[in-house]
Structure 1
């Protein structure tokens, strides 16, 4: 009996910990994954401790709350769904905080209170007052955090488009498990039935044909249409068509991975699609960097390229069209699938679906080298820190041929110290670099001299001569007006801008295991990006996914 009670107490806390991860996944498409977790851990820990302490002292909380647990678990997806349309008014990070205060925080609190009640038959008082008071809350919190960490790593690997392998579907599945672990009285069962019906019939985040049709009718009010959607390793991935202006875009959580124009003028047929973001064509200027000492320009068909981060495939598609043997490294299989299926990404390439850090380490051992490397891994308002460390840049250096060129895209608030840290890290490895932003930056004020934007850092291995670009020709543009207007780098940034004058720390470069400083600026970047994205696409598009 003691083992049964202990197992039941552990099961209740385990369900709450897994549900907390699903809460984060559900909030990410609306608020972004980084802002959604700003207060999450503190909120969860407080709820666990408060549940154990108050539950052991109040039978009203522990017994009555336990009866309400399954109903609340079924109710949470609907509360999220009903609150999402108010995300613009609530703002970020206030929105995710308020949403979790009304959803996951009560669930964790009542779960901890129920767990404390189940533990009472263990008679911990026999071991002393201190043990009986401290062991349940501390042990419960430690187990909650351990289970949560495990779930955070495991769940994204198995998300799919099937009902019970989505974040919202799994929430319903966990609610079912709550009814098994914590049986309800008839009254609460009757209260739960309409909640379940609403979830399955009206909640557009459930991946049924009729909910998708309902979602599309909502999106069409703002001239958008959903092409496809699927949750995956890096977040919620969807493809959207703009029916008014005429473009198709790929979304990952609360960011855009790219897009191309679909309504083209009569008689205009570029060899590759025109992207909606000009900065992606600038990356193609790796081909325009002039060789050392007036050397011979290598033919495209004799060159090879490595592209880290696929998106919709704008840059690698152009490189492939030029005849360059191209390898792409993309961590998310659904991003790769959608790029092929909906953005006409050419199939004559080498695809590596893997973490870029793992790939670079393996490629170094195989002594593989490339003429061009394109590094473009932005998503969700922040950069993956591991892909900007000194160690990773040294790996790229090893993969680059002696006369090779690397182009690194960085998106963020360039006035924050984090941008300077990344630039200094790159320049500590590559001796010759030039930095360009996507626009002239004239709209920025004196107090915000750079602001949130994309910049591309072009570097080469050799330091014997300055990095220069040749003038592009018609073949370079591939018949694309967008490339003719934006491909050649124009708005150069003086590297001195990123020196210590813009920094508030003595840290000069970013090293693996020492990334805390830059992670502190991720929140500002992510919230800044969230505000920008709310201007790029209507709020209804972000709120209905």
Structure 2
């Protein structure tokens, strides 16, 4: 290289076009003379990495499901880290890109991620949710994180030339620490900012990155903004929302559905959809359906009307399993004609709300009902759109916290009925199926109380046996029913909805015959309220010498030891995803 070029000052060198840094003839030593980032920008990039990860994942969960979206996330990122450090140790030649070009590429790639995600999302129909989510991350998140990581490392190397490896590991450790803390609170934080989250979070982050890493390549980043703002079907940007909404609305109507409302919740993306062809309303949470009701007048919600229920009536539900949970009222001793406690005197605890099918019926029967629901947005939608009566006690918090607090009160309240209905997204919250939590619920039951536990799973998975064994270990007097007759193999992977009825008292129990007043004027309850399709619990637990159910102690789930159950969540969620795609068309899930 000429002496005149070597004598160029740092000030003059900073004005050299980025392309010249990697021009033929530049030496490795010359490229390494580029100035690294200030330390505050290094810290800012480390802080932004977990946010970028979240911004890539959020638009995927409504169409791919939260569990499939995350299934290969950690292993992919960790593999990227290992490959990166291995490459740095093995390869000592000329850098493939100068530091300046890497910094210029970061905001450009971030700005184009929503566009890439939009066009790759439909490929889930062919690849499945987990593989497609991994593909999207492979071409968006991993390159972005890799560029940021390398810029951080090289900048640290220039700031701490004698200890770059140690400081680099420290920076990586800081990232993992921030990511761990952020993952525990992000759902609560993001639920406060609906309208700026899923469609726009990456766009906002790209603006921050442009401010941190300005370059002449900004134009390439800005080119991607119009699609996110004006042509993305999820956009709510005021000037374009009407056009985008009308386009999406027409596409959805072609599939027989209409979007009534949508919001952001702690548990995920929530929306209310109306099937305008068949005439029912349903609530979705990410890639799961929380329930639905038939509505009077097909297309009434799509037309802007609110077909509210008459006073004293309950809605006609579209799913049998939520009706079957109401049979908790019908349980009685098999050899005793004494009827269960009267509705007026009964106390019920409903853990997990959904659209409120079961608690609405309990309230309609005059039962004093307490509802525990983690997500306030779910409760609000249940009241506003699905007829959940206001005369109930609503506890909007985590069930673990509620139960622990209740049991700490002297002479704590006990219940005649407990309904445990927390399944969503293809998997169960493991902490609410441990032996310790079931023992706590047992304490909240009266001596003749009954608990009904909704569990949807693949009958062939070991996780099903694990959950049932755990429940039986605490409440051994149980019977298991499914919601309908299905020949094995008809559903995807033998995935079925089940209800486990468990009674505090010993001895066999049955269900009293339902009468007209139990049906609350609905045909669904007339068909499905009485449990009929019993499953043999002996397939999942052993029987003792007196034919009493006995749990296998080695197959009991304990608090803090839920990995054995969680390792099956991915497979269960993928099979649940397949089932959901048969219930609602692909395009509806993708438009959200």
Q: TM-score, normalised by structure 1?
A: 0.91
Q: Distance in 2 between matches of 1:164 and 1:148?
A: 23
Where does structure 2 lack aligned partners over 5 or more consecutive residues? 1-34, 299-308, 544-551
Higher gyration radius (CA)? 2
1:364–1:161 distance in 2 versus 1, CA, 3 Å: closer
8 Å Cα contact 1:390/1:512 also seen in 2: yes
| 1:408 alignment partner in structure 2 | 453
Correspondent of 2:534 among 487, 492, 496: 492
Q: Distance in 2 between matches of 1:96 and 1:243?
A: 31
What secondary structure is seen at the aligned counterpart in 1 of 2:327? helix
The answer on 1:260 being equivalent to 2:289 is no
Q: Distance in 1 between matches of 2:475 and 2:553?
A: 21
The answer on 1:321 being equivalent to 2:364 is yes
Q: Distance in 1 between matches of 2:444 and 2:109?
A: 53
The answer on 1:282 being equivalent to 2:313 is no
8 Å Cα contact 2:195/2:236 also seen in 1: no
Q: Distance in 1 between matches of 2:577 and 2:212?
A: 39
Structure richer in helix, relative to its length? 1
8 Å Cα contact 1:26/1:167 also seen in 2: yes
Aligned residues: 528
8 Å Cα contact 1:163/1:207 also seen in 2: no
What secondary structure is seen at the aligned counterpart in 2 of 1:479? coil
Q: Distance in 2 between matches of 1:48 and 1:61?
A: 20
Cα deviation, residue 54, structure 1: 5.8
| 1:8 alignment partner in structure 2 | 41
- Structure 1 residues 177-210: Cα deviation after superposition (integer angstroms, max 9, x where no partner): 111221122xx12222221121111112223333
Q: Distance in 2 between matches of 1:489 and 1:221?
A: 37
1:411–1:433 distance in 2 versus 1, CA, 3 Å: same
Cα deviation, residue 541, structure 1: 0.7
Correspondent of 1:106 among 135, 143, 158: 143
| 2:404 alignment partner in structure 1 | 361
The answer on 1:537 being equivalent to 2:584 is yes
Cα deviation, residue 260, structure 1: 0.9
Q: Distance in 2 between matches of 1:163 and 1:354?
A: 20
| 1:237 alignment partner in structure 2 | 270
Q: Distance in 2 between matches of 1:456 and 1:519?
A: 21
Correspondent of 2:558 among 489, 492, 511: 511
Cα deviation, residue 320, structure 1: 0.4
Q: Distance in 2 between matches of 1:328 and 1:430?
A: 22
What secondary structure is seen at the aligned counterpart in 2 of 1:361? helix
| 1:432 alignment partner in structure 2 | 477
Q: Distance in 1 between matches of 2:103 and 2:423?
A: 43
Where does structure 1 lack aligned partners over 5 or more consecutive residues? none
Higher relative contact order (CA 8 A, sep 6+): 1
- Matches for 1:46-445 after TM superposition, within 5 Å: 46-48=79-81, 50=83, 58=95, 60=97, 62-124=99-161, 126-127=162-163, 132-133=164-165, 135-136=167-168, 138-160=169-191, 165-185=196-216, 188-208=217-237, 209-210=241-242, 211-263=244-296, 271-290=313-332, 293-366=336-409, 367-444=412-489
What secondary structure is seen at the aligned counterpart in 2 of 1:84? helix
8 Å Cα contact 2:449/2:503 also seen in 1: yes
8 Å Cα contact 1:161/1:230 also seen in 2: no
Cα deviation, residue 51, structure 1: 5.2
| 2:31 alignment partner in structure 1 | none
8 Å Cα contact 1:275/1:482 also seen in 2: yes
What secondary structure is seen at the aligned counterpart in 1 of 2:454? strand
What secondary structure is seen at the aligned counterpart in 2 of 1:279? helix
8 Å Cα contact 1:61/1:110 also seen in 2: no
8 Å Cα contact 1:62/1:110 also seen in 2: no
- Matches for 1:21-40 after TM superposition, within 5 Å: 21-40=54-73
